[in-house]
Chains A and B, each alone.
Chain A
Amino acid sequence: MKLLRMKPGHGEVLLAEGDVDVPEQERELIEAFREQLEHGMWAAVPTSRTGGRRQARMVRSFGEVPRDAERVIFFPKAAGGA
């Protein structure tokens, strides 16, 4: 699983990568995940649906991330614009 973060002036940045079935790597992923939430980021998991449609699943904790997810994408939380 990869944790990615969108970044102005850069595009996405790889924050962490690991196997959730390896306890030590899972702990590192959880730590990186929490850190992003503490920075006020939103997290989404891109998923596929039947029929070729795709969507994202917003997650608020690492426990909500599907175990087989390939990546979680963090982006700044939404705010009302002008």
Chain B
Amino acid sequence: MEVCWPTISEAIDRHRRAARVPTFDYDPGRERRAEQRARELLRSCVNDEEWEMYRDLGFIRVWGAMADGPERGAAREGLAGAPYAYLIYPHKPVVAYLPQTRRLLNEYCVVFPDESRPYGSARLPDSDDVLAKWMALTGDEERLIAQANMHLPGRQVDPQQVKRDLWRLSEWERQRAARERRTGYGRVSAP
């Protein structure tokens, strides 16, 4: 391998030059700065509770607003009118669930690819991906759900992990409510 590597390496370089394949070196500093900007933008758009949820737990809960529940199947299963919510994770499917029973409903696989591919990647920073989902869900839930590919729970996001996250969320809310009671500072949580 040591003998033939220079030849292979030169061949790869020749191929790149000939094909004019743009190459972008991965720059962790650039990615970190991008993520920091994205976090600031996210923080400026969501409310305090949602920001702290993301900061502490790594996801944001958004309450569903469609009268018949999240699209396809839910109404048929007699869930129309039941309060439901979504968990938004960075670069993972959006998970719909019933808060009262913690029953998982569906996964909605959705991406926001930037085909202009600055720096060679179509992938938004994590917090931008979360903000894009948050804006699309709170601004036009039906449109986003229609664009997404729907799957049963467990296809990409481990249901056990989601259950743990829902437990973490309930604990987080309990502690937050206790803290607010002590300080006399109330905030909004349920729709």
Identity of the chain B residue whose Cβ is nearest the Cβ of A42 in the assembled complex: B136
- Indicate which residue in B46, B48, B109 contacts A82 across the interface (CB closer than 8 Å): B109
Within the complex, the shortest CB–CB distance from B142 to chain A, in Å, comes to 11
> Is A52 a contact of B139 with CB atoms below 8 Å?
no
The interface on chain A, measured as residues whose beta carbon lies within 8 A of the other chain's beta carbons, has a size of 30
Among A55, A58, A81, chain B packs the most CB atoms within 10 A around the CB of A81
Is B98 located at the chain interface by the 8 A CB criterion? no
Assuming the A-B contacts A75-B112, A76-B115, A78-B136, are A11 and B125 also in contact, with contact meaning beta carbons closer than 8 angstroms in the complex? yes
Identity of the chain A residue whose Cβ is nearest the Cβ of B62 in the assembled complex: A55
Identity of the chain A residue whose Cβ is nearest the Cβ of B41 in the assembled complex: A12
List residues 41-82 of chain A with CB under 8 A from any CB of chain B. Answer: 42, 44, 46, 51-58, 73, 75-82
List residues 4-48 of chain B with CB under 8 A from any CB of chain A. Answer: 27, 30-31, 33-38, 40-41, 44-48
Number of A-B contacts (CB under 8 A): 135
Among B109, B115, B122, B135, chain A packs the most CB atoms within 10 A around the CB of B135
> Is B116 a contact of A10 with CB atoms below 8 Å?
no
Is A15 located at the chain interface by the 8 A CB criterion? no
Main secondary structure of the interface of B (DSSP, over half): helix
Is B187 located at the chain interface by the 8 A CB criterion? yes
> Is A81 a contact of B110 with CB atoms below 8 Å?
yes
Q: Determine the chain B residues whose CB is within 8 A of the CB of A75 once the complex forms.
A: 112, 124, 128, 131-132, 135
Q: Determine the chain B residues whose CB is within 8 A of the CB of A6 once the complex forms.
A: 38, 41, 112, 114, 124-125, 128, 131-132
Identity of the chain B residue whose Cβ is nearest the Cβ of A11 in the assembled complex: B37
Among B38, B50, B140, chain A packs the most CB atoms within 10 A around the CB of B140
Is A23 located at the chain interface by the 8 A CB criterion? no
A45 to B118, CA, bound (A): 24
Chain B residues engaging chain A, CB cutoff 8 angstroms:
27, 30-31, 33-38, 40-41, 44-50, 93, 109-119, 121-125, 128, 131-132, 134-136, 138-140, 143-144, 147-149, 156, 187-188
